[in-house]
Chain A
Amino acid sequence: MRRLLSWAGVRRLLIAALLPGATMLGLAAQSPAQAGADPEAAAGRRPAPSQAPDLGAGDIRAVLQHLDDCFGRGDTFAYLETFVPDHPGAHAVMARELSRAAAMARRECKSTIVGEPRRLGPRTVVRIHQQLRLENTLGEVAAYDSHAMLALRRDASGRPVPTLLVEFPATTRQDLGAGLRCPACNYEIGGAAGWLCVPQRGDRASALEAASFYLLGTDLACDVSVRIDADAPDAVPLAERLAAALAELEPEARLGVASPWLPPAHRQDPPRGLCGARLEVEVADAAGVADAGRAVFHVLTFGGLQHLLLVRGSQRSLAEHAADVDALLASYRLLERDCDLALAAARPLHHHTGGTLDDGRYDNRLHHVVMRGPAGWKGQLRCGGAAFRVSWQSPDGARLWLTGLGVPPGMQQWTSTTADRYLRQLCRQQGLEPPPAAEPGPGATDWIELAGCSTRTRTISCRSAAAATDPAAPALRWIHLQVHGDLLLIADGYAPTTADEVALRSAFETLVRR
């Protein structure tokens, strides 16, 4: 009787009484199974921090075994029903990946715990290692390892339920709950209470370095990315450019006005050269309600070095947890305040990509790649989702790019077959005619195996579909590929004049992997 009349008991009675009404009004969009198992989650409120002991490794292993069984059966519904998701976005993307795996002929997953589970905010967090094996209807197999962060809590009945599963790179030695510090990129952020730091995979980041912070127990997240731009734009126009890019993807988004902003750590005494801007964008939330979600860009430029922080979530969560968001933003700081601006841009590029450009000659010490650009062309180092990128431009407008791509997770090595598939996809995206089928003989477009090594090369030209209607569009695109087991090199470009085309094709000959 005393337990029933306690505050927790009264709260449970109120929730049970209000739940049918809340469900009818659409305020609690949970399945009946979840509502019965966890009335607090079904009421749509953030569950109070569990007073039960931390989840042990045994509990977590049982959950992982259940998830692996569902994955092996291709039972996406059961897999997703196990979760009581904190973050709808991450959960939806995970559901999409599960559907993709379920469409395979066979699938298998073996999950194991790495290290000890830890309490972080209202959740127990643990690193897991997954051995995945997917087989399609043609008998082709992809076997690879994946690393992820798993967050769990106990429901009302004490049963462990997972709430968040996010993948991160295998090379990460990230301490759970710790912040992110990169001396090369000259910043650190994180360590604020309740925020889980999950580095992003480099191939998915579209940036030099990226990570996501999740406020456990809520639908809030903060994406952090590092970019280098030799044009060194100011923070306010950069924020407007990024918001416009988001508006291209989200036509219903409503853009705010960019305003100057500096992180709290540098407000009193801003470092020379540090510029910041903040811009809010209202987007539709997970239920399709317009303007109920929000994405807030925080842009910091230090010369050509750019630190981008995108805080996203529902407007309600942002208002409720404003103090937590402020704590995360307050944890950001430049490591070296009086760093030379040129050094601040050059250091992260060199550290993460390993390449240098000297008088038109590109030399990458990390991947042992050398290429000399055509004489008189201006070279520039670039960054993105690839291992490295560099471009050259002639005075007449000819362009040449060199891109190095590591082996994507899911594959063991690059082959000519996968390189051709990738190239066909790229040509389709860029509006180029499909590359010609590999053929030996005169004017060969077939793969050529270099003597003394397993490297295969291919040089082809593709016509641009846009050239038929736009005289200014380049008519022919030259593409040179080199497949090394652990690296795919793509050198491509176009030239409006014959002389530039000769120089372009000659530059392909200088591409060497030592």
Chain B
Amino acid sequence: MSRRPHDPRRPDALPGPEDPPRRAFSATGDGREPVFDERELLARFPSEGEWLHLELPPDALDAPRAADAFVARTLDAWRDERRLDQDLAALDAALPPAVLGAFAAPPPTADFVDRCAEAIHDERRQRWQQMLARHVAPEPSPQFVSRTLAALTHDTQRGTGGGPGLTGRAAAGGVWWRSPRIWPLLATAAGIAVWFLVPGFARSDLDRAPLELRLAQRAPLAMARAHTAAALPGVLAVANQHAEPDALVRDAADGVWLLLEGE
């Protein structure tokens, strides 16, 4: 059943049968809880025609509109992209063709196709051989055969008591660790094990240093990379050394060392 909205122009009009039920409203001050007056609320609610002309509440005027923020972000991203394109175009314009030519792929040689086809065939053949080799037992080598026969012979002789066996105290049933010669060896082995296995036991200061310091200490003090907290320069220096082992100048110098500490 639709309800006729309360007409504020007729505040004293008696509610009709289709009007919403009117409930009492009282302020909080008299101790009773405030209750809603639906008719009053409906009276204050803007009509359909009034929506478009409503003013923003005062606190909303200060808050940035979500749409404006989106537009600003989009425009900033577009400008950033354009600036990047301009920077790249400027770099490319300044690039001499000779530099580009140094890194361009050379033209294919006359036998390029043949070499590629041969390489593909070789790879295929090796791959098939590897796959098939799983199902083919290898021929035993002569050394393997002779070792196996010698071991079998030895076992057979031991079983019959005809071959060389244990001698000395062990053969007589004595225990090897009762030998007086074993104890110094065991003590030495225990000491070596403690030296290597116990963390922090007798380790040098270098081992306790962080990775960055350990890497920096590998470089001569005269070189600038000996004074950086980054780890990659030391690694790259070793890689560069392998690439050009005969190069004389690989690292830049440290100015303080050259001025004050170099001999």
Question: Among A100, A184, A357, A426, which residue has its beta carbon within 8 angstroms of that of B99?
Answer: A357
**A425: B residues at CB distance < 8 A:** 220, 222-223, 253, 262
**A411: B residues at CB distance < 8 A:** 255, 258-259
Contact check, B210 vs A92: say whether CB atoms are below 8 A apart. Answer: yes
**A370 vs B200: C-alpha distance when bound (angstroms):** 56
Given contacts A295-B231, A310-B231, A422-B253, contact A343 B100 (CB under 8 A): yes
Is B244's CB within 8 Å of the partner chain A? yes
Scan B213-248; emit 1 where CB is below 8 A from any A CB, else 0: 111111010111101111111111111101110111
**A347 vs B103: C-alpha distance when bound (angstroms):** 10
Scan A61-80; emit 1 where CB is below 8 A from any B CB, else 0: 00000000000000000000
Given contacts A357-B99, A411-B258, contact A401 B249 (CB under 8 A): yes
Which of B1-9, B18-26, B89-97, B131-139 contacts the other chain?
A: B89-97
Contact check, A249 vs B215: say whether CB atoms are below 8 A apart. Answer: yes
With most chain A CB atoms within 10 A of its CB, the pick from B87, B96, B225, B233 is B233
Contact check, A248 vs B211: say whether CB atoms are below 8 A apart. Answer: no
Contact check, B211 vs A293: say whether CB atoms are below 8 A apart. Answer: yes
Contact check, B98 vs A357: say whether CB atoms are below 8 A apart. Answer: yes
Main secondary structure of the interface of B (DSSP, over half): helix
Contact check, A310 vs B100: say whether CB atoms are below 8 A apart. Answer: no
**A438 vs B256: C-alpha distance when bound (angstroms):** 23
Is A110's CB within 8 Å of the partner chain B? no
Is B38's CB within 8 Å of the partner chain A? no
Is A156's CB within 8 Å of the partner chain B? no
**A303 vs B100: C-alpha distance when bound (angstroms):** 13
**A477 vs B222: C-alpha distance when bound (angstroms):** 21
Give the number of residues in B that approach A within 8 Å (Cβ atoms): 70
Which of B64-72, B112-120, B150-158, B201-209 contacts the other chain?
A: B201-209
Which of A32-40, A202-210, A447-455, A506-514 contacts the other chain?
A: A202-210
Closest residue of chain A to B100 (Cβ to Cβ) is A346
**A479 vs B213: C-alpha distance when bound (angstroms):** 33
**B14: A residues at CB distance < 8 A:** none
**A361 vs B258: C-alpha distance when bound (angstroms):** 32
Closest residue of chain B to A492 (Cβ to Cβ) is B248
**B208: A residues at CB distance < 8 A:** 286-288
**A19 vs B1: C-alpha distance when bound (angstroms):** 74
Which of A52-60, A119-127, A324-332, A384-392 contacts the other chain?
A: A384-392
**A418: B residues at CB distance < 8 A:** 253, 258-259, 262
Is B79's CB within 8 Å of the partner chain A? no
Chain A: minimal CB distance from B238 (Å): 4
Contact check, A210 vs B98: say whether CB atoms are below 8 A apart. Answer: no
**A427 vs B247: C-alpha distance when bound (angstroms):** 11
Contact check, B207 vs A140: say whether CB atoms are below 8 A apart. Answer: no
Contact check, B227 vs A204: say whether CB atoms are below 8 A apart. Answer: yes
**A143 vs B197: C-alpha distance when bound (angstroms):** 48
Question: Among B99, B103, B218, B227, which residue has its beta carbon within 8 angstroms of that of A249?
Answer: B218
Contact check, B199 vs A401: say whether CB atoms are below 8 A apart. Answer: no
Contact check, B250 vs A384: say whether CB atoms are below 8 A apart. Answer: yes
Given contacts A96-B213, A136-B261, A356-B99, contact A183 B88 (CB under 8 A): yes
**B98: A residues at CB distance < 8 A:** 356-359
Contact check, A288 vs B218: say whether CB atoms are below 8 A apart. Answer: no
Contact check, A89 vs B258: say whether CB atoms are below 8 A apart. Answer: no
Is A223's CB within 8 Å of the partner chain B? yes
Number of A-B contacts (CB under 8 A): 265
Chain B: minimal CB distance from A394 (Å): 13
Is B212's CB within 8 Å of the partner chain A? yes
**A351: B residues at CB distance < 8 A:** 91
**A3 vs B14: C-alpha distance when bound (angstroms):** 61
Contact check, A405 vs B253: say whether CB atoms are below 8 A apart. Answer: yes
**A108 vs B249: C-alpha distance when bound (angstroms):** 32
A window 154-203: CB within 8 A of B: 166, 183-184, 200-203
**B218: A residues at CB distance < 8 A:** 249
**B239: A residues at CB distance < 8 A:** 241-242, 245
Contact check, A94 vs B211: say whether CB atoms are below 8 A apart. Answer: no
Closest residue of chain A to B262 (Cβ to Cβ) is A421
Is A304's CB within 8 Å of the partner chain B? yes
With most chain A CB atoms within 10 A of its CB, the pick from B217, B242, B254 is B254
**B253: A residues at CB distance < 8 A:** 203, 405, 408, 418, 422, 425
Contact check, A134 vs B251: say whether CB atoms are below 8 A apart. Answer: no
Contact check, B251 vs A136: say whether CB atoms are below 8 A apart. Answer: no
Contact check, B225 vs A206: say whether CB atoms are below 8 A apart. Answer: yes
A window 324-358: CB within 8 A of B: 335-336, 341-343, 345-347, 349-351, 356-358
Scan A400-430; emit 1 where CB is below 8 A from any B CB, else 0: 0101011111110000001001101111011
Q: What are the 10 A-B residue pairs with the smallest beta carbon separation, nearest first?
A: A410-B255, A89-B212, A408-B255, A203-B252, A358-B98, A245-B238, A421-B262, A223-B232, A342-B103, A89-B210
Contacts A142-B260, A384-B250 aside, 19 further interface pairs with beta carbons under 8 A come to A92-B213, A96-B217, A200-B228, A203-B252, A230-B103, A245-B242, A249-B218, A250-B214, A343-B95, A346-B103, A347-B91, A350-B95, A359-B98, A384-B251, A407-B255, A410-B259, A426-B249, A477-B248, A490-B248
Task: Please report B residues at the A interface, Cβ cutoff 8 Å.
Answer: 84, 87-88, 91-92, 94-96, 98-100, 102-105, 199-200, 203, 207-218, 220, 222-225, 227-240, 242-244, 246-263
Between A and B, 22 residue pairs with Cβ closer than 8 Å are A96-B213, A142-B259, A183-B87, A183-B91, A203-B224, A206-B237, A207-B232, A210-B230, A230-B102, A250-B214, A286-B208, A308-B232, A335-B88, A342-B105, A343-B103, A347-B95, A351-B91, A382-B244, A425-B253, A426-B248, A430-B248, A490-B248
